[in-house]
């Protein structure tokens, strides 16, 4: 006897249909319609329409390929931050990147150099390195 849990529909089935299948069908139908439209324009004498008459069906084929790959790709296991199994499997590239960022932050902390006041020249005692002119 089959397990009742396996015969129940998976949660989110309709959201998958709305999110994946309906846009695919609308997109492919739209591309094929546009290809047919451009083919009729090309047969009527518009030479540039021959390019579009072949381009739109290629977009439909590309959309079908992306839809197929999205539908059949294997789901990845979500990473839990406190999972002890993932602590031992640190990515060496990630560790090197984090060390590099720490070194760069120590050399030049965030925020950059201190800002000069907007009127720094007015506050300087001597403009252009020359002492002020005195009368007399």
Identify whether the C-beta of residue 64 lies closer than 8 Å to the C-beta of residue 32. no
33 within some domain: yes
Domain ranges, residue 36: 17-72
49 within some domain: yes
Residues in Cβ contact with 121 at an 8 Å cutoff, skipping those fewer than 6 apart: 127
Query: pLDDT digits over 34-44, tens only?
Result: 999 999 999 99
Q: Find the radius of gyration of the CA atoms of the chain.
A: 33
What's the rounded Cα separation, in Å, for the pair 29 and 35? 10
23 within some domain: yes
26 within some domain: yes
Q: How many domains are contained in the chain?
A: 1
pLDDT at 77: 63
12 within some domain: no
31 within some domain: yes
- Give, rounded to a whole angstrom, the gap between the first and last alpha carbons of the chain: 114
52 within some domain: yes
101 within some domain: no
Query: pLDDT digits over 69-105, tens only?
Result: 988 886 666 666 666 666 667 778 888 999 999 998 8
Please count the CA atoms within 13 angstroms of the CA of 97 that sit on its side-chain side. Answer: 5
């Amino acid at each position: 006897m089959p397990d009742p849990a396996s015969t129940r529909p998976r949660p989110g089935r309709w959201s998958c249909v709305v999110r994946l299948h309906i846009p695919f069908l609308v997109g492919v139908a739209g591309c094929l319609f546009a290809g047919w439209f451009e083919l009729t324009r090309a047969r009527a004498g518009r030479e540039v329409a021959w390019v579009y008459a072949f381009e739109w069906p290629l977009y439909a084929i590309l959309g079908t390929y992306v839809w197929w790959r999205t539908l059949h790709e294997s789901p990845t296991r979500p990473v839990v931050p406190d999972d002890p199994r993932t602590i031992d499997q640190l990515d060496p590239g990630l560790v090197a990147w984090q060390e590099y960022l720490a070194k760069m932050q120590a050399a030049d902390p965030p925020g950059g150099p201190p800002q000069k006041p907007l009127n720094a020249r007015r506050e300087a005692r001597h403009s252009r390195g020359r002492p002020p002119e005195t009368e007399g």
